[in-house]
Amino acid sequence: MKVTIVGAGAVGASCAEYIAIKNFAEEVVILDIKEGFAEGKAMDLMQTASLNYFDTQITGITNDYGKTSNSDVCVITSGIPRKPGMTREELIGINAGIVKSVSANLLEHSPNTILIVVSNPMDTMTYLVHKTTGIPKNRIIGMGGALDSARFKYRLAEALSAPISDIDGMVIGGHSDKGMIPLIRLATRNSVPVTAFLSEERLEKVAADTKVGGATLTGLLGTSAWYAPGAAVSEMVKAIALDSHKMFPVSALLEGEYDLNDISIGVPVTLGKIGIEKIVKINLTESEKTKMQESAVAVKKTNGLLAL
């Protein structure tokens, strides 16, 4: 498998590192617009190969898309990240132009590739890629829910004083502080609903902490996070590489599913070698359905800012 990552910044480099450490891809190409930057990140990562025991060949390039040709998967992390106090939506002006040109360049050299969109506001950037490239919807996947679900599990484990490996849970809806929907009702500790262990009040705090997970880290770090985003992308790329049919919440184009149309938003899907294999339908309660509709309204409002 050949993977291209556009953007050698914090998330792109972390993503390359986790993909290499998991050792399932033959080749990772990192591309950045900043002269020498991707080359430097790639060389530094390659010098970890004998220490971290991977055989993945990582190369870095400055804006030369020819070197990305025939990639099986391309990850788009290019663009500006949030600074403290900013919302993801405020990034749209700059990032829309970048994501549009980057996806066109990638497809010119890898017409059959699967695109994973990370740049924020991610649901809107994913929708933009659908609208501007016209490639089949199974090949455009937005990463947000996999990260938000990992943050949800972290907060649940904290509340339960339990190991994270005991916890299962999922976040759907828009990838924004207000829009994401941690599915408390369906979260479990070793198959027992977490609602059996934690008060409604404590669970509300878990949900609230999950929703501001990105903003909390942006406040602490001065820029948005990278380890968990990189790890989340690497798991999705691995599911595609191994054709594992693993289920993730991702931003997928909906055509009637969850009573939504013409929007890309977080829903559970299975991932395999074709990208999104199917959208998984789960029965939501009336309150969860309302939250999903409200989340969709907010995503569509941001989509409306795109000059399509």
Catalytic residue list: 175
Site stretch for ligand NAI (CB under 6 A), options 33-41, 42-50, 161-169, 235-243: 33-41
Q: Does the protein bind ligand NAI through residue 98 (CB under 6 A)? A: yes
Helix (H) or strand (E) holding 16: helix 10-22
Q: How far is the CB of 287 from ligand NAI (least distance, A)?
A: 25
Q: Does the protein bind ligand NAI through residue 102 (CB under 6 A)? A: yes
Q: Does the protein bind ligand NAI through residue 33 (CB under 6 A)? A: yes
The DSSP bridge partners found for residue 31 are: 6, 61
Q: Does the protein bind ligand NAI through residue 82 (CB under 6 A)? A: yes
Q: How far is the CB of 47 from ligand NAI (least distance, A)?
A: 20
Q: From residue 208 to residue 237, what is the string marking binding to ligand NAI with x (rule CB under 6 A)? A: ---------------xxxx--x--------
Report d(CA 84, CA 80) in Å as an integer. Answer: 13
Q: How far is the CB of 72 from ligand NAI (least distance, A)?
A: 20
Site stretch for ligand NAI (CB under 6 A), options 140-148, 166-174, 240-248, 286-294: 140-148
Q: Does the protein bind ligand NAI through residue 71 (CB under 6 A)? A: no
Q: Does the protein bind ligand NAI through residue 54 (CB under 6 A)? A: no
Q: Does the protein bind ligand NAI through residue 179 (CB under 6 A)? A: no
What DSSP string describes the chain?
-EEEEE--SHHHHHHHHHHHHHT--SEEEEEESSTTHHHHHHHHHHTTHHHHT---EEEEEES-GGGGTT-SEEEE--SPPP-TT--GGGGHHHHHHHHHHHHHHHHHH-TTPEEEE-SSSHHHHHHHHHHHH---GGGEEE-SHHHHHHHHHHHHHHHHT--GGGEE--EEE-SSTTTEEE-GGG-EETTEEGGGTS-HHHHHHHHHHHHTHHHHHHHHHSS---HHHHHHHHHHHHHHHTT--EEEEEEEEEESGGG-EEEEEEEEEEEETTEEEEEPP----HHHHHHHHHHHHHHHHHHTTS--
Q: Does the protein bind ligand NAI through residue 34 (CB under 6 A)? A: yes
97 versus 193: smaller Cβ distance to ligand NAI? 97
Contact between 146 and 121 (Cβ < 8 Å)? no
203 versus 229: smaller Cβ distance to ligand NAI? 229
Q: From residue 10 to residue 29, what is the string marking binding to ligand NAI with x (rule CB under 6 A)? A: xxx-----------------
DSSP state of 119: S
Q: How far is the CB of 241 from ligand NAI (least distance, A)?
A: 20
User: Residues in contact with ligand NAI, total (CB under 6 A)?
Assistant: 35
Q: How far is the CB of 12 from ligand NAI (least distance, A)?
A: 6
Q: How far is the CB of 274 from ligand NAI (least distance, A)?
A: 22
Which residues here bind ligand NAI, judged by CB under 6 A? 6-12, 31-34, 37, 77-82, 91, 95, 98, 102, 118-120, 122, 143-144, 147, 175, 223-226, 229
